[in-house]
């Protein structure tokens, strides 16, 4: 039983911190706890989304460079719904198919080709790339906000706690180390809670932003390659 005594005392101290906290301190702790849980849930969701996007993008690129027909690539791309590259390709391919159908329409098709042509495909690729970046970036800014604001929210709780502790000490009229250390230590718990919420959020935010930038570059490069291919084969 003795080895577990420090752990029991530590758990009791946390209970005492919450029990002795003022309304504002308790609100700060609950807020930090809530945003910490929300950020961890978002981290797990985004990590899964980006991992799926990476795996499916590699599968798509392997198919794209090995297949000899765009129709085959399109059929594969439709199944890879988590890949930004496959969705960009689908947008370009569908626009190219519309142009091909318009061209078969005779005079109206020739007019449509003069008005658009390869520029239509390029615009479709750009729109799809922008839409995919927006989807990948969705809610990532929340992690940045948590990382930036949580330490200050925790510091606010600490300041309130220290002021409350000093008021209690003044009422008791006894300012020994024993009477000061406990309430001040309890007040610092809010700062620790703020850092606990902020650090994972900042690390995840920077990681996700970096990975999304890689996808952005890959989509730009893929769009350029795809345009070069269709220029050689469809727009001579």
| Mean pLDDT rounded to a whole number for the chain | 86
4: pLDDT strictly greater than 70: no
Tell whether 10 is covered by a domain.
no
Residue 164 to residues 19, 24, 27, 76, 152, Cα–Cα distance (Å)? 14, 10, 15, 64, 18
pLDDT, tens only, 130-179: 999 999 999 999 999 999 999 999 999 999 888 887 887 777 776 666 66
Confidence of residue 116 (pLDDT cuts 50, 70, 90): low
- Domain extent, residue 35, equals 23-234
For the chain, the domain total comes to: 1
Tell whether 13 is covered by a domain.
no
Tell whether 147 is covered by a domain.
yes
Tell whether 12 is covered by a domain.
no
Q: What is the DSSP string of 185-198?
A: HHHHHHHHHHHHHH
Residue 201 to residues 9, 138, 162, 213, 216, Cα–Cα distance (Å)? 30, 15, 27, 18, 22
pLDDT at 203: 98
- Give 7 or 227, the one with higher predicted confidence: 227
Tell whether 218 is covered by a domain.
yes
pLDDT at 131: 98
pLDDT at 102: 75
CA–CA gap between residue 199 and residue 194 (Å, rounded)? 9
Tell whether 2 is covered by a domain.
no
**Lowest mean per-residue pLDDT among 18-27, 95-104, 108-117, 207-216:** 108-117
Q: Measured in Å, how far apart are the chain's first and last C-alpha atoms? A: 84
Tell whether 217 is covered by a domain.
yes
Averaged over 5-16, what is the pLDDT?
49
10: pLDDT strictly greater than 70: no
Q: What is the CA radius of gyration of the chain?
A: 29
Tell whether 84 is covered by a domain.
yes
Spatial neighbors of 25 by CB under 8 A, at least 6 apart, are 157, 160, 161, 164, 187, 190
pLDDT at 135: 97
pLDDT at 117: 76
């Amino acid at each position: 039983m003795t080895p577990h005594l420090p752990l029991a005392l530590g758990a009791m101290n946390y209970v005492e911190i919450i029990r002795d906290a003022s309304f504002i301190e308790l609100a700060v702790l609950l807020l930090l706890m809530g945003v910490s849980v929300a950020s961890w849930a978002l981290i797990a969701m985004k990590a899964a989304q980006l991992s799926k996007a990476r795996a499916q993008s590699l599968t798509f690129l392997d198919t794209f460079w090995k297949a000899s027909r765009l129709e085959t690539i399109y059929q594969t791309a439709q199944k890879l719904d988590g890949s930004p590259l496959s969705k960009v390709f689908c947008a370009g391919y569908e626009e190219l198919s519309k142009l091909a159908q318009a061209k078969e329409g005779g005079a109206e098709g020739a007019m449509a080709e003069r008005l658009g042509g390869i520029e239509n495909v390029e615009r479709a690729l750009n729109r799809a790339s922008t839409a995919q970046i927006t989807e990948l970036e969705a809610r990532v800014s929340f992690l940045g906000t948590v990382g930036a604001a949580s330490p200050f929210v925790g510091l606010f709780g600490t300041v309130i706690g220290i002021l409350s502790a000093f008021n209690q000490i003044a009422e008791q009229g006894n300012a020994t180390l024993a009477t000061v250390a406990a309430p001040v230590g309890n007040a610092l718990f809010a700062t620790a809670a703020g850092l606990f919420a902020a650090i994972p959020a900042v690390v995840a935010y920077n990681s996700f932003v970096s990975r999304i930038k890689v996808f952005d570059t890959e989509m730009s490069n893929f769009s350029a390659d795809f345009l070069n291919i269709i220029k050689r084969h469809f727009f001579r």
